[in-house]
Amino acid sequence: QRLDDTLASLPDKTTKRHRGWQKLGASIAAILAIAILLPNLSPTISYAMADLPVIGSFFKAVTFRTYEKETGKNHAYIEVPEILSGDNNSSGAEVINKEVANYTNELIQQFETEMHADGYFNLDVKWDVVTDTDKWFTLKVHTTLVMASSADEVRYYHIDVPSGEIKTLADIFPDDFNYVSIISEELKQQMQARMDADPQQIYWLDNTKVEEWRFEQITPEHNFYFNVDGQIVIPFNKYEVGPG
Q: What is the pLDDT of residues 23-64, one digit of tens each?
A: 666 565 555 555 545 445 555 555 554 554 444 443 368 888
Overall average pLDDT of the 214-239 stretch: 92
Report yes or no: 6 and 14 within 8 Å, Cβ to Cβ. no
User: 66-74: long-range contacts (C-beta < 8 A, 24 or more apart)?
Assistant: 67/104, 67/108, 69/111, 69/112, 69/115, 71/115, 71/116, 73/119, 73/120, 73/121, 74/111, 74/115, 74/120, 74/121, 74/122
Report yes or no: 80 and 64 within 8 Å, Cβ to Cβ. yes
Residue range 70-113, pLDDT digits in tens:
888 889 999 999 998 875 567 889 999 999 999 999 999 988 88
Report yes or no: 140 and 129 within 8 Å, Cβ to Cβ. yes
Residue range 105-123, pLDDT digits in tens:
999 998 888 776 666 788 9
Report yes or no: 106 and 100 within 8 Å, Cβ to Cβ. no
Beta-bridge mates of residue 57: none
Report pLDDT for 87: 56
What is this structure's pTM?
A: 0.71
CA distances (Å), origin 96, targets 40, 131, 156:
20, 15, 10
Report pLDDT for 84: 86
Residue 240: closest CA among 107, 146, 141, 151 = 151
